[in-house]
Structure formats: C-alpha cells, structure tokens
Structure 1
Amino acid sequence: MVSRLVAIDYQQRFSTQAFIARDTKSEPDLIVVAFRGTDPFDADGWSTDVDISWFEIENVGKIHAGFMKALGLQKDRGWPKEIQRPTNSPPFAYYSIRQILKRILQDNDKAKFIVTGHSLGGSLAILFVAVLMLHEEEWLLERLDGVYTFGQPRVGDKKFGEFMEEKLRKYSVRYCRCVYCNDIVPRLPYDDKTLFFKHFGPSLFVDSFYNCKVTWQEENKNYFSLLWAIPKRVNAVWELIRSFILPIAKGPDYKETWFLRVIRVIGLVTPGLANHCAQDYVNATRLGSF
C-alpha cells in the first residue's frame, strides 16, 4: 500500500490524501486508488468543501472549483496534460497518482484499477477520472474497471454530467454512487436555479434497514422541507437505538465508537448528518441486500 499526502497548488502545502493498494491475489491484479474524505478537524478540508465557485472547462462544463483545486488544479494554467514541477515543490494529487498508476500497470498488462472514496474523497475519485478523460489518457482508461463512491456530493452542472456519461460509455467504465438513507451530503450543493449542481449516473440507494435499490436520483433529492422533518427525526431515533442493537445481533465488529454515538445524538436535531458517517457506509456494504 502507498499512502500519499499531496498538495493543493492554491495553498502550497500538503492537504489531499490518497491511498493506493494492490491486490496480487486477485486474477488479474487489482489496484485500488482511494481518496480520503474530509477530516472533521481539518480546516483546509472544510474550506475545500464550502468553496462552491465554478471552474469551467470549454466543451466539458462547470465543475466545483474547491474539489478541482484539491485534485491539483494549477493556478493560471488549469489542467495542462503535463507539468514541470520543481524538485522542492510538493506533488499534486492528479499528476502524482497518474504517474504511480502508469508505473504499476506497466508491470502487469492484465492488471486493472478502480477508484473510490467517501464524501470529499468520492468527489475527487470521479473528478480524477474526469481529468483522465479530459487528457484522453486512453491507455489508463482502458485499464479502469470502475468508479465507486460513497456519500459523494454533487460535483458539476448538467453539461458536465452529459460529458461524463458519454465518456463513461465510450470507455466502458462502471460508475456507481452509493447513498445511505438520509445522508445530507449527496444532496449538496443544492440542485436549484441558483447553483445548478447535478448528479449523473446511477445511484445505489440503501435505506436504514440495509435494503438496496438502484435509482437515477436520490430519494427526496432536495429534502430540505417541513414535509420531511418528522420522518427524518423518527429515522434518526431508530438509528440511535439500532446502534445498541446491531453489535448484539451481528457481533462486536459492529460496535460503534462514543464519537459516532455523539454524532447520532446530534442527528436527532440535524437529521442526515449522522447518516454521512463512514461506519454506516461500511455497514451498508456488508449488510445491504436487494
């Protein structure tokens, strides 16, 4: 496994974190690129999330500028296919990971890779692939097996979604967004007349009983209304109770930390916040069924 802290050109310091793991026991070899989500105590990460300004690429569309900066967007240069990085400057996420992938995949002509991430990490995962497509990195895209994100926020406008859907079909890349129950983050930034953020591709929706279904939009995609206030709070109460039941029913692997329990209590007031925790997505992956 390789763990790398990579820099943001706009901040000139290490911020974005990604992990690269290689499973040599699978046939063929499988490489996993995983982007880390927002650290709740990292101010730089939060500044990335709330930067909802647009970065527009001609013939591609408008994209969340904060996420693009975290991936390695260059000041005044945008996304050049190659960059000359001074030896004393920190690496940038997209360019560094692309270089590592090329080196690893050259060792095995049958190996494949997938890209994944939770929350902010999910946004970086799909945008990493978007920049590969922008640069027409066909050799890498033909080795890409899929993109799987968890609790991913919206990353671009309708035009960008259309660009991605066309390219995903062209390179036969599987893309799926996993959305757990009332998770608030996949409903952000708002899909309204002011911001125009849009999801694209299928979504695997998992409810609080771990029942799964494939949809093309989130359940109640913009659920910030009084109509959903009571159902969301009832569900938050059930999930707090379930946090004590699940370890008894399924075993100690499902025991929750005190920090997550505190988040669940806060979720009684702010439903959807607790549903974004990685633990629920891990449980959904292990217990979910159609």
Structure 2
Amino acid sequence: VSGKRWTCLVNCWSPDTLGTEVDYHWDVTLPASYGYVAHRSQSKEIIVSFRGSTILMDWIQDFSFLPVSWPKSIEGSKVHNGFLFGYTAAADGIKKTLKELTAKYPDYKIVVTGHSLGGAIAAVATADLLISFPEWKSKMELYTYGEPRVGNPAFAHWLSSQNIPIFRVVNRGDMVPQVPTRWMNFEHHTQEVWYSGRSKDAQFCGGESLENDQCQNSLLPIQLSIINHLQYPGLSPSL
C-alpha cells in the first residue's frame, strides 16, 4: 500500500483525514501490533498510528503486567513488557519509513497516536524515537486515547519532561486508563485531557504531579466502565 491513498469508507472522508497516503503498514499477531505510517500534505503531517486491541490475544498481552527495564538510557525506567514487545515487533519498519519521509518532507511534523493498547504502544514508540532521533524532537507530538498505564514513575517522569505536545485523552469512566494499577508501581505520563461527561468541554489536568486526582482518578471503581472505552469521538469501537 506504500504511497497509496487509503480507503476506509466514512473515516476517510473526514476533512481532517482526506488525502492521507499510507507509506507502511504492519499486522503482527504475536506480539499483537497493528498500525501504519502515513503522510498528509494538506496538514504537513507524518502519522504513526497504532490500533487498539480487538482480539483475545491482544488482551492477554495487555494484562501481562511484568515490567521490564527499558530504555537503558533512562535510569530506573521500566515499562510493561507487552507494550514494549508490541512496539519492537514493528520498530525497524517504522524507523526506516520515518527516515525516508523526514528526508522527503523535512518541514512535516511527526504525530504518534493510538487507542487503547495502541495508545500504550504509541507512548513507547515516542520514547524510542526521541532517544534514537533527537533531531526530530522539535517536530514530534503524541496523542493517545484510552491509554493504559505504560511504565513506572521513572519512565513517566522522563516522557513528561521532554517538552513536546503530549495529550492523553480519557473518556468519562473508561476503565482501561486505570490499569495496570498504581499500587503495581505503574504511573501515567502527562497530560491528561478528561472528558468527564458533565459537559462537552475537556478538562486539562496538569499540575506538578504526573496524575491529577481531580480528574479521572477522582472516580470510584464502581463508576468505571468498559463501555466508555468504546465511545471516543471519531474512533471505531475496539478494545
């Protein structure tokens, strides 16, 4: 599909996505990893997009909570092994394609994004790209939706400190961002953007701490739901 306009019915007709050309895609069953690298001349963007979980094997990967030390350059950093393996399954092809596209389109920004499992892998990918290609830092952005916690506080602090646009969107009582739990020593990176459901406006949850207890963390466990995980605007339902 390299260099071809994508075809995905209604989602491809949006003014925000029209004209997107896919340059590389992958579909790996184990470890579960699905996505594409594309570019869009109208918005001058190179997009790295990771799909969410849709099958049982993905959820097995999601809930294998063993943390592993990564990356070596960040002292004390650990990440969820399933998310790391999901990224490394496609990393070589992603990096190769990005090097080609950044050479061809040097003024394009690089947008890394994903939903659910894909959001977690997107965070890992962003960390690796920042370390591997520091010259890209000024053009990188990260947007995730329904992202579970990816790593320990050392990883979360490092990613949050990189001074790039990072937006971790959370819908109402979506239960997925609450796993793995904080008592397992997992922590979210900033910045949470919470749609509480009380209004159509988003609440930007910053502050000195990584997780803001005035946002989704303020909900009781009984208020969490997998249904909210499937209701992000503009996203087709998937886990």
What one-letter code is carried by the residue in structure 1 that aligns with 2:233?
A: V
What one-letter code is carried by the residue in structure 2 that aligns with 1:181?
A: R
* Structure 2 residue runs without a partner (length 5+): 1-21, 207-211
Q: Is the 8 A contact 1:116 1:125 kept in 2?
A: yes
Normalized per residue, which structure has more helix? 1
Structure 1 match to 2:185: 196
Select which of 152, 155, 160 maps to 2:150.
155
Structure 2 match to 1:23: 40
- How far is the alpha carbon of 1:60 from its aligned partner? 4.8
SS at match of 2:100: helix
Q: Percent identity?
A: 24
**TM-score, normalised on structure 2?**
0.78
Aligned-pair Cα RMSD in Å: 2.2
Q: 1:85-119: per-residue Cα shift (whole Å, max 9, x none)?
A: xxxxxxx3122111101101111221221000101
Number of aligned residue pairs: 204
Structure 1 match to 2:13: none
**TM-score, normalised on structure 1?**
0.65
Structure 2 CA distance for aligned equivalents of residues 60 and 23 of structure 1: 38
Structure 1 match to 2:177: 186
SS at match of 1:282: coil
Select which of 87, 103, 123 maps to 1:71.
87
SS at match of 2:34: strand
Structure 2 CA distance for aligned equivalents of residues 126 and 114 of structure 1: 11
SS at match of 2:232: helix
Structure 2 match to 1:4: 25
Q: Is the 8 A contact 2:130 2:136 kept in 1?
A: no
Select which of 196, 200, 206 maps to 1:207.
196
Which entry has the higher C-alpha Rg, 1 or 2? 1
- How far is the alpha carbon of 1:165 from its aligned partner? 2.4
Equivalent residues in 2 for 1:94-109 (5 A)?
94-109=91-106
What one-letter code is carried by the residue in structure 2 that aligns with 1:175?
A: I
User: Structure 1 residues 99, 142: CA separation in 2 closer, same or farther (over 3 Å shift)?
Assistant: farther
User: Structure 1 residues 174, 150: CA separation in 2 closer, same or farther (over 3 Å shift)?
Assistant: same
- How far is the alpha carbon of 1:21 from its aligned partner? 2.5
Structure 1 CA distance for aligned equivalents of residues 101 and 129 of structure 2: 17
Structure 1 match to 2:159: 164
1:37 aligns with 2:47: no
Q: Is the 8 A contact 2:102 2:108 kept in 1?
A: yes
